[in-house]
Amino acid sequence: MHKLLKISWLNVKNSVYSKESLLGIIALFSYSMLWVFLVHPAQYRLEGYDFEFGRFLYVIILYAAVCIIRNDIRFNTIKTIFTGVFTRTEIMISKGIGLIIWGVIFSVIVEINNILVSCILYKKIGISGFLAFDHLQLFITYIVITFCMGSLMVFIVAVMFSEKKSVLFIIGILSMVNFYTAAIPILVGNRPEIAKNFSIYMKTPFYNTVLLMQGKFNIKSVSINIAWAVLFFILSVFIINKREIK
């Protein structure tokens, strides 16, 4: 287990050190600062800025998850990895642990953004606003979202098993789903009677991810997302185990 953790950490570290990762973080904070300096809606508190940051971060989460396997296909390191001492299942478990590590990193990035926003908007939010924020819920939220949506992306890459950029198109679609369905949890929250119209959608990871990102933390959404994550992950492990590495 210790070895797997080390491999997972090294794997994440390799992605963190990449040029794409650096560009992603710069873009992420630039987007956040656009909201702080240019848009700054009057009704927005820290939660509002946190949600906007999370919407952009969602794209980065999907991309980071894709990179966890796609980079090995792209850089042809997959053959070396799959001929090492670890079984394919163990390698995939290390990738899963990698997703959780990414979740921790993302929650730290969100907190850095929250500190920045609180300091820049010190009159409106300030340190007291930052301290009033539920940091544990944020921490759990980003780990669960990264694990769930990351597992979905790992599953998609396992099925496609290609370095082709078409997977980036899927990231685009999922990001749009996240963006355009953000209103549904608010609608359901305001008018509970329409919940039955969305009953199936409410069981998907997409709905529950948006809900968690909006700060509506609840154990049911966390459990649904974890259940989906486990399902996607088991399927990915099964597919990878059956694959021929060409």
Q: Work out whether the CA dihedral 158, 206, 64, 102 comes out positive or negative.
A: negative
The size of the interface with other proteins (CB under 8 A), counted in residues, is 28
Nearest to 6 by CA among 111, 109, 91: 91
Radius of gyration of the chain (CA): 19
CB of 220 to other proteins, least distance (A): 39
Q: Which of positions 83-112 make contact with other proteins (CB under 8 A)?
A: 83-87, 90
Mask: binding to other proteins, 18-47, rule CB under 8 A, as x and -?
Answer: xx----------------------------
CB of 81 to other proteins, least distance (A): 6
Q: Which of positions 59-78 make contact with other proteins (CB under 8 A)?
A: 71-72, 75-78
Mask: binding to other proteins, 213-242, rule CB under 8 A, as x and -?
Answer: -----------------------------x
Q: Does 5 bind other proteins (CB under 8 A)?
A: no
Mask: binding to other proteins, 115-134, rule CB under 8 A, as x and -?
Answer: --------------------
CA–CA separation, 230 and 213 (whole Å): 20
Choose which of 27, 30, 34, 79 interacts with other proteins (CB under 8 A).
Answer: 79
Q: Does 3 bind other proteins (CB under 8 A)?
A: yes
CA angle centred on 49, ends 44 and 55, rounded to 5°: 130
User: What percent of the residues of the chain are helix, what percent strand, and what percent coil, each to the nearest 5?
Assistant: 80, 0, 20
- Could you tell me how far CA 182 lies from the centroid of its own chain? 16
239's tokens: 């597919």
Angle between helices 135-160 and 88-120 (to 10 degrees): 140
Q: Does 81 bind other proteins (CB under 8 A)?
A: yes
CA–CA separation, 122 and 91 (whole Å): 46
Q: Which residues bind other proteins (CB under 8 A)?
A: 3, 6-7, 10, 14, 17-19, 71-72, 75-87, 90, 242, 244-246
